[in-house]
Amino acid sequence: MSEQTIKTSACDIAVTSSSGDGAPVLFVHGNSSCKEVFRNQLHGDIGKTWRCIAMDLPGHGRSADARDPDQTYNMPGYADVALEVMSALGHEKFAMFGWSLGGHIGIEMLDRSDRLTGLMISGSPPVGKEPDALAVGFKPSEHMHLAGQRDFSEAEVDAYARATCGINAPFEEFLREAVARTDGRARELMLGKFAAGYGCNQRDVATHSKVPLAIVNGGGEPFVNNDFVASLDYDNLWEDTVHILPGIGHAPFWEAPDQFDPHLRRFLASVG
């Protein structure tokens, strides 16, 4: 494993790379999380086979806060930073796994660049731009309102960390620390602009993707409407199905890597 800091136009970005020398794969985490959530994949057989690169988004983890929050804390802003990071690392073409917010960023990257060889998303419903788009793609839940809330109490930090990683998933202190560290403007600006339709039409980009789009969701998703995700007519859906892991929550790669990782391995082998 190697750790480094990449200077980008938005801010300094913290990056971890695995030891594998296979094709590069970018991992992008969810709202108020950090790159360490991909530990099982980067430290396991996947990381030993492929060149796995996990980044902390601006305002998250060990990355710096954005110099211009309004420009950076949104889907297009995050997508541009991710592309800049991969350019700095010398990877012109790469696959990507995006979780939750990271999956939405990946869809935005598909719209902005032809550099992705394939995209896997989890917990990221590809919604359109209709006024009720978020209400259709996401479920109402006890903790959903926190996704766009700027300031958290200590209790809200703990509640959000536990809900997003999965109520039955292993819980470690770094998950709570990641939520507490996140620049609250990142939550507020990102969700506000997403709800207002800023960025691409994610439903159209996902359904008409020119590269394989893999979807692997937990069957016990507390936030995502899996029926909506499965109802869309995809042109290039990997293995022609939305994969559902029964009983697993919002972060299947963290909660149940033994069930999730075989899907990721097959996907990376197919797009490598």
For Cα atoms 158, 26, 211, give the angle at the middle one, nearest 5 degrees: 120
Average confidence score pLDDT of the chain: 97
Domain residues for 92?
A: 2-271
User: pLDDT value at position 2?
Assistant: 93
User: pLDDT value at position 13?
Assistant: 98
Which residues does 172 contact at the CB level (< 8 Å), separation at least 6?
Answer: none
CA dihedral 169, 213, 30, 259 (to 10 degrees): 10
For the stretch 185-239, pLDDT in tens is: 999 999 999 999 999 999 999 999 999 999 999 999 999 999 999 999 999 999 9
CATH at 13: 3.40.50.1820
For the stretch 133-178, pLDDT in tens is: 999 999 988 778 899 999 999 999 999 999 999 888 999 999 999 9
Count how many domains the chain has.
1
Phi and psi for 214 in degrees, rounded to 5?
-100, 140
173-181: Cβ within 8 A, 24+ apart: 174/34, 174/36, 175/33, 175/37, 178/32, 178/33, 178/34, 178/36, 178/37, 178/60, 178/61, 179/32, 179/33, 179/152, 180/152, 181/34, 181/60, 181/61
Q: Is the pTM of this model over 0.95?
A: yes
